[in-house]
Amino acid sequence: MKKIALGLLFGIFLISTANIQAQESAESKSSLNSGTIDSQFDYIYSVSNNFQEYKVVKRSNLDKLQSNILDSMKTMRSEVLQLKTQIGSKNDSISSLNQVLGQTETAKQEAIAAKDNFTIFGIGIHKAVYSSFMWLLVGALAVALGFFSFQYFRSFKKIRKAQKDLEEVQEEFDQHRKNTLDRERKLKRELIDAQMGKA
């Protein structure tokens, strides 16, 4: 009976140990098969046995963790390579866009220069210079017009005065002639009267 009880006890011990190992194996597979590297390290630390001040880790768990880390590093290297390729492509795009921007800026400056300049007799003139020159010319013409208008009105006044003086002289001359004719007639009459009186 002791043997049977001992055999049962030993069987229960074996079954429980097998169950615990199966659970640990399932947990290690499930935990080492998913999650981040940090969580996998945490899991290994939690399922490891203690021996004095050391942790005893199963070789299979270490191998699985190493495989996971290498796979992660390979994936990261691939992602880094893709990112480098994308960055290189974007740098090329940025370089070409900067070149296009420079050409556009040059074209814009040329368009502004063409808009602000025009050609007269084959000479390029800036619109501001042309505008200043035209306003200066208009001002000079206005001053010349004012000067000649002043001279004209001054001369016109002199001419009017001369005409008025001429008319006055003409009137005086006409009056003098009339007076002279009257005197001449009077003298002729007196002469005729004197000759008739002698006769």
φ/ψ (deg, to 5) at 101: -65, -40
**pLDDT mean over 93-102:** 91
Query: CA angle 27-68-85, nearest 5°?
Result: 145
pLDDT of residue 6: 58
Res 42 pLDDT > 60: yes
Per-residue pLDDT at 140:
94
Tokens of 146: 């004012």
Burial degree of 40 (CB within 10 A; 0-12, 13-18, 19+): buried
**pLDDT value of residue 28:** 44
Question: pTM for the complete prediction?
Answer: 0.40
Label residue 144 by pLDDT band (50, 70, 90).
very high
pLDDT at 24 over 60: no
Taken in order 126, 129, 130, 131, the sign of the CA dihedral is positive
What does the pLDDT look like over 114-139, one tens digit per residue? 777 767 777 777 777 778 888 999 99
- CA dist 108 and 126 (Å) reads 17
Average pLDDT over residues 17-43: 65
Assign residue 134 a region (left: φ > 0; alpha: ψ between -120 and 50; beta: otherwise). alpha
**Each residue of 53-76: pLDDT tens digit?**
887 878 888 788 788 888 888 988
DSSP-derived secondary structure letter, 35: S
Do the strands 49-51 and 54-56 form a parallel or antiparallel pair, or are they unpaired? antiparallel
Average pLDDT, the chain: 81
Structure-token pair, residue 10: 């030993």
Res. 22: pLDDT tops 60: no
pLDDT value, residue 26: 45
Q: Is 7 or 187 the better-scoring residue by pLDDT?
A: 187
Confidence (pLDDT) at 57: 78
Report the distance separating Cα 116 and Cα 72, nearest Å.
Answer: 63
Greater model confidence, 161 or 33: 161
159 vs 106, 137, 145, 151, 190, CA distance in Å?
66, 32, 20, 12, 45
Percent of the chain with pLDDT over 70: 84
- Cα separation, 125 vs 96, whole angstroms: 35
Return the residue matching tokens 């220069």: 113
Alpha helices in the chain (DSSP H): 2-32, 37-47, 59-116, 127-198
pLDDT at residue 53, as a whole number: 81
Of the listed ranges 27-41, 68-82, 140-154, 184-198, the least confidently predicted one is 27-41
Secondary structure class of 33 (helix, strand, coil) = coil
